[in-house]
Amino acid sequence: MARKSILFVLTVFLASFGMTSTAYGLSTVAGKGLATSSASVVASRVPLYFETNQGQTDSKIRFLARAGGYTAFLTSHETVLLYHNGMPGEKDGRDAVVRMGLSGSLESSAIRGGGRLPGIVNYLIGNDPSKWHTQIPTYSEVRSDEVYPGVDLVYRASGKQLEFDFHVAAEANPNPIRMTYSGASRMHLNAAGDLVLETDAGPASILKPAAYQVVDNKQVPVSANYALLPGGEVGFRLGKYDHGRPLVIDPTVGPTASYSTYLGSGGSDTFKSIAVDAAGQAFICGTTLANNYPAGAESGTPYESAPSANYYANGIPAGFVTALNAAGTGIVYSTYISGNSTTSSYGAGLTSIAVNSTGNAFVGGQTDDSTFPTLKAFQTTIPASRYMSGYLVTVGTVFELSQNGNSLVYSTFIGGGDFDAISAIAVDSQSNAYITGTNDVQGNDNTQSGFPIAGSPIWGRFTQQNIGAGFEDAFAAKISPPTTGNATLAYSTVIGSAGSDTPFTYGTAIAADSDGDAYVTGTANCDIGDHDTIDAGVDQNITTNLNMTHVTRAESEYVNNVWVLELNPTGTHGVYLT
């Protein structure tokens, strides 16, 4: 039987519309010159599908699909994936072409669509209806039969990425599968087992293959890795499996490793924190003094489409939360958040962001504005200063924003009449939020932080020794989301010292594991806890793992220690402190 090489072409192109490849004469007429961000946002959120070519692109193309960061063009004997390291409309974006071939594949292989979808695609370009392309059918997969004896190649979606599966029939041999690449300056395997292709547009990756067999209606995994072979070929190194059953080998085409975009009002914007969800969407928070920071949502309207008039007129910073799609080509949503004060100094000082598995954003910050929005809050007011009447008081703010940026799930203050600020936030699989930050004690009596304490925490508060106001403690807290009522403060503890050397302890970062343990880190110029004064219920293992160098007051102006603390899920015990 005659054989020939089937070429798969990977071209690095980030934009979703108006893509071309001069090497192959390929182009999509849809959206050529499209300038509106909303269209690219919607495209980025629609699951990947395959559409037949009815004149909307080069006649050699049988099917095309728009993936996250690239577009796939499928012919009977080759595939073209277009990536670009740049934004739509940029003239200096770098393109790259990488060809993947299947050595010795069967000439008789044919390509066909499978899994007809209810959706259709229409291209209404220009004012001549005879050039429109309408009622184009869509499919969930595309199959090339018998690319090798007993081996079919099936293209399908994995979220917004393209997978190509090799379906190996029972008793068929997968060893002839040989992929070849050209156009990359370097090809190597990374630590995760992905095949990385270094191109002029940045690294493109073919993700580590997964392999499995179906036994009793269950997928049984088979060990699979890429094998770099002589002559630049790439095969598969498979573990033991039942040759009497079909086998599926499943690589995934990944996007290029990076994108770059401008975002902002052109005025005074401050970006403070970023998080990424499982789909690759980036969530950003910060503050702005402008009223033209981009605001909008692909679904409905954002929570706030503009800062309050009082904030803008009085130069008070409003907060913002922005979600970018995985390709960086559009805004999923962007919303302001602000109060109504005319005299606030901090406004909506958003400092930290995290995102849960459903795409809800959890944001922490600091404010002195009692009109900052609260909802289902365990603390709805800002306490009066413990130092003197009218003295500036700030509290932490924590809120959860819905997946589409339209509404708050909850929003609460947390603070105690001092100068409290959240520096970091994390979220676990149950949507519990974990926060850390600093409590700048303003109490005039002297002795203790006013930060709210909840649960039966490891320390609670420390009693200071004759130093008055001005010392600083870190804090850690866990906030449970509302179910039938308000959000709740599951636990809260101060982290600091009871020493007399004007101690300063700062909480700077926090993370949570799958068991609900919190990992808190920061800096200090003192021993954490001063163990002769800690509560009797503290896990004594915390002292045996202590490895901090005490510094005297004279040294404390110049020396800080880094500390790391693991807290159990209820905050009652420390697993270790170092």
pLDDT tens digits for range 88-122: 344 445 566 777 778 888 877 788 999 999 888 88
Q: Answer yes or no: do 386 and 278 share one domain.
A: yes
Which residues form the domain of 381? 269-522+568-577
What is the separation of C-alpha 91 from the centre of its chain, rounded to a whole number of angstroms? 28
Burial class of residue 547 in the structure, from the number of CB atoms within 10 Å of its CB (0-12 exposed, 13-18 middle, 19+ buried): exposed
Confidence of residue 26 (pLDDT cuts 50, 70, 90): very low
Q: Answer yes or no: do 177 and 287 share one domain.
A: no
Of 414, 416, 412, residue with least CA distance to 385: 416
| Region of residue 33 (left: phi > 0; alpha: psi -120 to 50; beta: else) | left
* Distance (Å, whole) CA 178 – CA 182: 14
Q: Answer yes or no: do 192 and 280 share one domain.
A: no
- Return the pLDDT at 21: 36
Of 477, 472, 435, residue with least CA distance to 455: 477
Q: 433-440 and 472-480: which strand pairing?
A: antiparallel
**Residue pLDDT, tens place only, 400-446:** 999 999 999 999 999 887 788 999 999 999 999 999 998 877 555 54
Q: Answer yes or no: do 32 and 105 share one domain.
A: yes
Work out the average pLDDT over 73-79: 78
Work out the average pLDDT over 284-298: 90
The total number of structural domains in the chain stands at 2
**Residue pLDDT, tens place only, 206-260:** 888 999 999 999 999 999 999 999 988 999 999 999 999 999 998 876 655 456 6
- Tell me whether residue 290 is in a domain: yes
Burial class of residue 381 in the structure, from the number of CB atoms within 10 Å of its CB (0-12 exposed, 13-18 middle, 19+ buried): exposed
**What residues contact 258, with CB distance under 8 A and at least 6 apart?**
85, 202
- Tell me whether residue 236 is in a domain: yes
pLDDT > 70 fraction of the chain, expressed in percent and rounded? 75
> Looking at per-residue confidence, does 392 or 56 come out higher?
56
Of 494, 487, 489, 522, residue with least CA distance to 506: 522
Confidence of residue 85 (pLDDT cuts 50, 70, 90): low
Q: Answer yes or no: do 335 and 247 share one domain.
A: no
- Return the pLDDT at 259: 61
Residue 520 in this model has a pLDDT that exceeds 90: yes
Compute the CA torsion angle 526, 531, 533, 539 (nearest 10 deg): 130
Average pLDDT, the chain: 78
Q: Which of 212, 228, 253 is the last residue of a domain?
A: 253
- Return the pLDDT at 96: 66
Beta bridge partners, 133, equal: 123
pLDDT > 90 fraction of the chain, expressed in percent and rounded? 41
Burial class of residue 89 in the structure, from the number of CB atoms within 10 Å of its CB (0-12 exposed, 13-18 middle, 19+ buried): exposed
- In this structure, of 135-144, 367-376, 447-456, the range with the lowest mean pLDDT score is 447-456
**Residue pLDDT, tens place only, 314-337:** 999 999 999 998 777 788 999 999
DSSP sequence for 297-347: ESSS--S-SS--HHHHHTTPPEEEEEEE-TTSSSEEEEEEE----SS-SS-
Other Cβ atoms closer than 10 A to 269: 16
- Return the pLDDT at 4: 38
Q: Answer yes or no: do 311 and 248 share one domain.
A: no
Of 533, 563, 567, 553, residue with least CA distance to 461: 533
